[in-house]
Amino acid sequence: MKFKFFFAASGLGVMLMSCASLTKSQIGAVNQFSQTSSNFSAYPGKIMTELAEIRLSRSVYAGSTFSDARLNLENLDGIHEQYTHDVEVSQKLDVTFKIIDKYAQSLLLLSSDKFETDIEEQAKNFGVGLDSLITLNNSIQGARAIPAGIGEAAGKLIALGGKQYVRSRQSKEIKKYVAAADTLIAIMTMNLLEHLGSKHLEELIANEEKGLKADFKTFLGHSKSTPEHGLAYVRLQLRLKNVRALQKQTMQATKDLRLAHKKLKQEIEKKKKIKEAVKEIQTLYEEVKEIKETIRSIETNKTAGK
């Protein structure tokens, strides 16, 4: 009986091992890429929201110098209307950026090792359950003894077969989608690069650089300056400097994202292990880390300025 069982279980395992699977390191590379890119939308969107908030602050400072109440209120209404529009624009842009996130997040789900771990866990329980039954059986007086330890072996076989089957399906889907997405990623990153390096965005940033200085000059020319005003100005300047850094870093990260996806596609098309971490994904990861640092710096100045 022991041999019959092993024979059947081995047969099941062989049957389940069908088409060429990706290696664990290949799936790992897909997962790493997805993790690094899954919140990409936060970076370009942050440039627009920062510009909007800096504009709001400096405009209120300058507008407060009007002695005519009607004019002052009209100006404040205009600032409010503009800020509402800024938020709407940011949301519209975010939707586009979030598509890259969505792709990365769905790829993250597809490349998860959860499917294999689940099977392993189930098979382990199965083995333990089977061994307990055998122990119980063997403890019954007069019962024919069944060799102990068979449960663990059977569990391992089932896990192997199940894992092979799931990995084979997972590999097929990953290969299909990464290949299909590559052209779309190329187009989207190209659009994003055009956006980040566009004349319009450049003008908007340059306008804030000039406007912030000019509006504070206006404010200081009409009002008594306090250290709080000075600090507010310095903090806004720091945030603006970070917007510039963010623009540069996001452009680099967008280029890296494109390269990493292209390399990923090439790597999973090969039928071999990825011996070293994919360099392009590592570069993307480093760039994203720097961006996160810049955003953290923006947030610090924002919180401290409140």
Residue choice 14, 15, 20, 214 for contact with other proteins (CB under 8 A): 214
Q: Is 115 among the residues that bind other proteins (CB under 8 A)?
A: yes
Select from 260, 263, 191 the least CA-distant residue to 37.
260
Token representation of residue 170: 């997972």
**Candidate ranges 35-43, 76-84, 272-280, 286-294; the one touching other proteins (CB under 8 A):** 76-84
Q: Is 19 among the residues that bind other proteins (CB under 8 A)?
A: no
**Between residue 38 and residue 57, which ones bind other proteins under the rule CB under 8 A?**
55
CB nearer to other proteins: give 17 or 282: 17
**Minimal distance in Å, beta carbon 3 to other proteins?**
15
**Between residue 228 and residue 257, which ones bind other proteins under the rule CB under 8 A?**
none
Q: Is 268 among the residues that bind other proteins (CB under 8 A)?
A: no
Alpha carbon of 66 to those of 36, 61, 262: distances in Å?
49, 10, 56
d(CA 127, CA 121): 10
Convert residues 84-103 into a mask of x (bound to other proteins by CB under 8 A) and - (unbound). Answer: -xx--x--xx-xx--xx-xx
**Between residue 181 and residue 210, which ones bind other proteins under the rule CB under 8 A?**
181, 184-185, 187-188, 191-192, 194-195, 198, 200-201, 203-204, 206-207, 210
**Minimal distance in Å, beta carbon 31 to other proteins?**
12
CB nearer to other proteins: give 194 or 299: 194
CB nearer to other proteins: give 109 or 304: 109
**Minimal distance in Å, beta carbon 220 to other proteins?**
9
**Minimal distance in Å, beta carbon 238 to other proteins?**
21
**Minimal distance in Å, beta carbon 96 to other proteins?**
5
d(CA 108, CA 111): 5
